[in-house]
Amino acid sequence: MQYIRSLIFSFIMISSIIIFTLLNLSLFFISYRKRSVLLTWWAKIVIKSLEVICGLKVEFSGLDNIPEEPCIIFSKHQSTLETIALQIHFNPQVWVLKRELLFVPFFGWTLALSKPIAINRASGKKAIDQIVQQGISRLKEKYWLIIFPEGTRTRPGDSPRYKGGGAILAEKSGYDILPVAHNAGHFWPKGQFYKKPGTVKIVIGEVIKNNNRSSKELLTEAQNWIEREVGILG
């Protein structure tokens, strides 16, 4: 029965992506800051559908740690779920992502209209320079900047090497880092449509102050906090 529920949810989510993409495309002449409200609505609809259909709830903690001004968000990346859920509390937001995602029908088209920093991960220093230059621009425009420092989705229990692009951006820009940990991979695993019922816990940590520290120091503190919290969540 849970497989059937997961299948129904997947159909609803894909249908909603198509609808919101078409709506987003039809409003291309409106600024992204205004259109981003649509993404927040969409995220709330999807998360509520996930709860009702699959019995999978999303619970946030640490919301009082969110600063008034947008900053750089470092999030654990285990699932598709966090990419949706984070849109509820961080608006407007932009992502650092691999450019191949922009070519995915409907989903990629919406991403292309959301001011992403789309990088070629194989380009090395050029990709880092792009993250720094475009990241500073987005932050000055008051966008929350979402970075998944692992670079790709991982499975629970993995110990991936965090990539330094986001930390270099923090060092060069002077902006703080807001760490986010969660256990979504236990309920909506990487590469699977099956959704296990339960409660996904998303923990927002205290701001990691820049204080003119090196990118290595900032990355180490962010990684240690995120991995420690993920371990506590299980």
Q: What is the pLDDT of residues 64-108, one digit of tens each?
A: 999 999 999 999 999 999 999 999 999 999 999 989 989 888 888
CATH code: domain of residue 85: 3.40.1130
Give residue 131's pLDDT band: very low, low, confident or very high (50, 70, 90): very high
The predicted pLDDT at position 173 comes to 96
Count of domains forming the chain:
1
pLDDT at 234 over 90: no
Distances (CA, A) of 163 to 9, 12, 47, 183, 204: 33, 34, 29, 20, 20
Q: Which residues contact 123 (CB under 8 A, 6 or more apart)?
A: none
The predicted pLDDT at position 185 comes to 96
The predicted pLDDT at position 7 comes to 96
Question: Between these two residues, 159 and 47, which has the higher pLDDT value?
Answer: 47
Residue 223's CB: how many other CB atoms inside 10 A? 19
Strand blocks (E) in 55-110: 56-61, 72-75, 93-98
Give residue 146's pLDDT band: very low, low, confident or very high (50, 70, 90): very high
The predicted pLDDT at position 157 comes to 87
pLDDT at 60 over 90: yes
Q: What percent of the chain has pLDDT over 90?
A: 83
Mean pLDDT of the chain: 94
The predicted pLDDT at position 78 comes to 95
Which structural domain range is residue 223 located in? 2-233
CB 194 within 8 A of CB 158: no
Report H helices in the chain.
2-26, 32-54, 81-89, 107-112, 125-140, 165-173, 215-233
List the single range of 28-37, 55-64, 201-210 with lowest mean pLDDT: 28-37
The predicted pLDDT at position 113 comes to 86
Compute the radius of gyration of the chain from its Cα atoms: 17
The predicted pLDDT at position 123 comes to 84
Q: What is the pLDDT of residues 154-198, one digit of tens each?
A: 999 887 889 999 999 999 999 999 999 999 999 999 988 899 999
- What is the rounded CA–CA span in Å between residue 170 and residue 222? 12
Question: Can you tell me which residue has the tokens 């009082």?
Answer: 64
Of 45, 53, 27, 32, residue with least CA distance to 194: 53
Q: Which residues contact 131 (CB under 8 A, 6 or more apart)?
A: 96, 117, 119, 165, 166, 168, 169
